[in-house]
Amino acid sequence: MKARNQTSTSEFLLVGLSQDPEHQPMLFGLFLLMFVAAVLGNLLIIVAVSFDAHLHTPMYFFLSNLSFSDICFISTTIPKMLVNIQTQSKSITYAECITQMFFFMVFGGMDTFLLTVMAYDRFVAICHPLQYPVIMNSQLCGLLVLVSWFISFSYSLTQSLLMLRLSFCTNQIIKHFYCELAQVLTIACSDTLLNHIFLYMVTCILGFIPFSGILYSYFQIASSILRIPSTFGKYKAFSTCGSHLSVVCLFYGTGLGVYLSSDATSSSWKSMVASVMYTVVTPMLNPFIYSLRNKDIKKALQILGRIFFLNDKITGFRFLR
């Protein structure tokens, strides 16, 4: 009987955020807008950092990597969701589901590590300013990013290989808007104990350890800032770190909440909303938070705008001639 209840799965069905047909156009427009805003905003940061020599510093190197990771992170889930809404289909093939989970974990892990590295960068810059150029050299910055990629790929590959050994029941409905790992495990017929142990172990290690490092860095930063005699100096230091800290709180607060709460394996509305916050809203808000509160980024974007505007005028003039 057990063999009859199992199948060589070819596709799953994604329930989505709402099953009401009246809500689908609104959801499509809303998520399309957020997706475009996230991609364009993060792309602008990458272009600004690449073309402005004044931004070729460790802080902006990590920020451009975070922007690239955010573009890829949001691209793993939202395009498929938009296609399903547009075609009025809820299906996702088994291969697409496994692939989506793999890249989701890769870029989600990269966001985690990059936020941690950025906190360390600010810690060194504010607490050890004289040693900053020596400590945060180009070799160390490159190594930190490479190690982050290696760990993220290793974890994602291991978890994906563990998923491939599972068989799934005839009930192939995923109660989420993407192939969320914990939700996929609930519809597996075979033993998922190893998968769950690995999931929660890695969530604790790659979640709490980096988050603890970030909190320690900002505790030290706050202590150093309070010792600055100048009010302007305090404001400038808090302004620089405030944007990063707000992104960290939003990303970690919702992300860890999803995977460690009692609703992690349920279809609760709260769990899906929290997932939207760290998979969609955070990548969308990052460029606005960093650019609106950062004079260097705003200046670089203004220069790029003038360059493109001037090129357009010159091109148009030549075309008219």
Residue 212 makes CB contacts below 8 A (sequence gap 6+) with none
Beta bridge partners of 169: 6
CA–CA gap between residue 181 and residue 275 (Å, rounded)? 12
Of residues 102 and 7, more confidently modeled: 102
Residue extents of the structural domains in the chain: 9-316
- Mean pLDDT value across residues 248-265: 65
Q: What are the angstrom distances between the C-alpha of 121 and each of 55, 63, 154, 207, 225?
A: 15, 11, 25, 19, 15
CA–CA gap between residue 67 and residue 41 (Å, rounded)? 8
Of residues 294 and 204, more confidently modeled: 204
Average pLDDT score, the chain = 81
Residue 62 token pair: 């990590």
Which of 239, 247, 248, 240 shows the shortest CA–CA distance to 216? 248
- How confident is residue 223, by pLDDT bands cut at 50, 70 and 90? confident
How many helices and strands, by DSSP H and E, does the chain display? Answer: 13, 5
CA–CA gap between residue 31 and residue 161 (Å, rounded)? 31
Residue 144 makes CB contacts below 8 A (sequence gap 6+) with 117
CA–CA gap between residue 210 and residue 204 (Å, rounded)? 10
The pLDDT tens digits of the residues spanning 11-48 come to 888 888 877 778 888 989 999 999 999 999 899 889 88
Model's pTM, two decimal places? 0.84
In the block, residue with structure tokens 């799965």 = 9
Side by side, which strands form the sheet with 173-174?
A: 91-93, 11-14, 173-174
% of the chain surpassing 90 pLDDT: 29
| CATH 1.20.1070.10 assigned to 9-316 | yes
- How confident is residue 236, by pLDDT bands cut at 50, 70 and 90? low
Residue 279 DSSP one-character state:
I
Of residues 309 and 106, more confidently modeled: 106
Ranges of H-type helices in 90-137? 94-127, 132-135
- Is it the case that residue 247 has pLDDT exceeding 60? yes
- Is it the case that residue 263 has pLDDT exceeding 70? no
pLDDT at 222: 81
Least confident residue range of 81-95, 166-180, 221-235, 301-315: 301-315
The string of DSSP codes covering 185-224 is: HHTBSS--HHHHHHHHHHHIIIIIHHHHHHHHHHHHHHHH
- Is it the case that residue 264 has pLDDT exceeding 60? no
Beta bridge partners of 91: 13
Least confident residue range of 120-134, 176-190, 224-238: 224-238
